[in-house]
Structure 1
Amino acid sequence: MVRVIITASLCFLSTLSLGAEFKVTLGAGQSSVVYRADDPALENDDHKSTAPFFALNLKNNIDYAQKHWLGAGVDFEKIDDMQVTGFRALDYQWRFSPRWHTGAFIGAASVDNIVPQNGYYYGAHIGLFALEKRLSVDLEWRHGEGLARDKQPGEPSEGRPDIFLDYSSLGLQASWHF
Structure 2
Amino acid sequence: MNSRDDRRAFLVISKHRMVRHYLPKLQACLERLDARSLWSEEAPGMNSIGGIAMHLIEHAERNAARLLRPETKFGQGIEQYFPQTKSDPADVSAELERAFAAFGEAVDRADPAAADMYAIYHLVEHTGYHTGQIVDRVQRMTGARFRFVQNGVNEQELKRSVDAELSGAELPDAGKDV
Identify the TM-score tier after normalising by the shorter chain: under 0.3
Higher RCO (CA < 8 A, seq sep 6+): 2
Greater share of residues in strand: 1
TM-score by length of 2: 0.23
TM-score by length of 1: 0.23
Greater share of residues in helix: 2
